[in-house]
Amino acid sequence: MTVAAIIPAAGSGKRLGGDTPKAFRLIAGTTLLRRSVDAVATSVDSVVVAVPPHWCVAAQAALAGAACPTAVVVGGATRQESVFVALTALAPSVDVVLVHDAARPLMPPAVVAAVVAAVHAGAAAVVPAVPVPDTVKSVDAAGRVIATVDRTALVAIQTPQGFRRDVLERAHGVASAVATDDAALVEALGIPVVTVPGHPAGFKITTPYDVVLAEALLGSRT
Ligand code: C5P
């Protein structure tokens, strides 16, 4: 099987602050984009990254010397559009697709390999899941608690998410609403999605706090 990764990296990263798109921010001296590509590179045959307009040259520079061939496309206004555009740039030979957020640079390669292995073993769609440690409540617009949700049935979902290519293309082709992950589009087709254990290090860089945490984790690895 030929495996490719799509890295949606076209977000602005407003919640992180600053003028540089989030994927091009540095974590301990290396862009989130490069770290996220490196996290998947040993499990895939090629990578397509989707970046904001005018960031293609910077992306090519960031990806020089990566462990597998990379291609760069301009992403869209939403994450879903960015993944859709990248799907159209995949080589015809690709039959398994991973979608991995550029905003998750520290996902351990072992989780990536487990996602690929689950697709190889026959799953049409695979997502890494981690337990939800906090109590979860639903609230109204004023912040008043409506209910406490039973967290034993809840997991938080990370990336990379792995798919049979035909399934992911069909899911994106018929998508009627904007979803925050690709598995939701597959679920909408009624196709089963399975989980593999995720990892806390696969957290999404969203706020300045997350940058501090990522740099501390990288420092503790050396
Ligand atoms: O904004 P958020 O962190 O949820 O975005 C998740 C991933 O989707 C990020 O890697 C971001 O760069 C990407 N994205 C994208 N195109 C957009 C918006 C987000 O590729 N228009």
- Does residue 78 sit within a domain? yes
Query: Where residue 187 sits, what CATH number does that domain have?
Result: 3.90.550.10
What is the average pLDDT across 158-164? 98
- Does residue 138 sit within a domain? no
Query: For residue 72, how many other CB atoms are within 10 A of its CB?
Result: 23
Q: Is 77 in the pocket of ligand 1 (CB under 6 A)?
A: yes
CA atoms of 163 and 119, how far apart (whole Å): 7
Q: Is 127 in the pocket of ligand 1 (CB under 6 A)?
A: no
- Whether the pLDDT of residue 37 is over 70: the answer is yes
- Name the percent of the chain lying above pLDDT 70: 100
What is the average pLDDT across 161-189? 95
| pTM over 0.75, yes/no | yes
- The domain containing residue 213 runs over which residues? 3-127+156-217
Using DSSP's 3-state secondary structure scheme, residue 4 falls into strand
Atom of ligand 1 at shortest range from CA of 15: 1
Average pLDDT across the chain, whole number: 96
How many structural domains does the chain have?
A: 1
- Does residue 134 sit within a domain? no
- Does residue 149 sit within a domain? no
DSSP state of 133: -
**Residue of the CA atom closest to atom 7 of ligand 1:** 101
- Does residue 41 sit within a domain? yes
Q: Is 7 in the pocket of ligand 1 (CB under 6 A)?
A: no
- Does residue 38 sit within a domain? yes
Q: Nearest to residue 150, comparing CAs of 135, 129, 139?
A: 135
Distance (Å) from CA 147 to ligand 1 centroid: 30
pLDDT tens digits, one per residue of 94-142: 999 999 999 999 999 999 999 999 999 999 999 999 999 999 999 999 9
Q: Which of 20, 82, 107 to mutate to test the pocket of ligand 1 (most atoms within 8 A of CB)?
A: 82
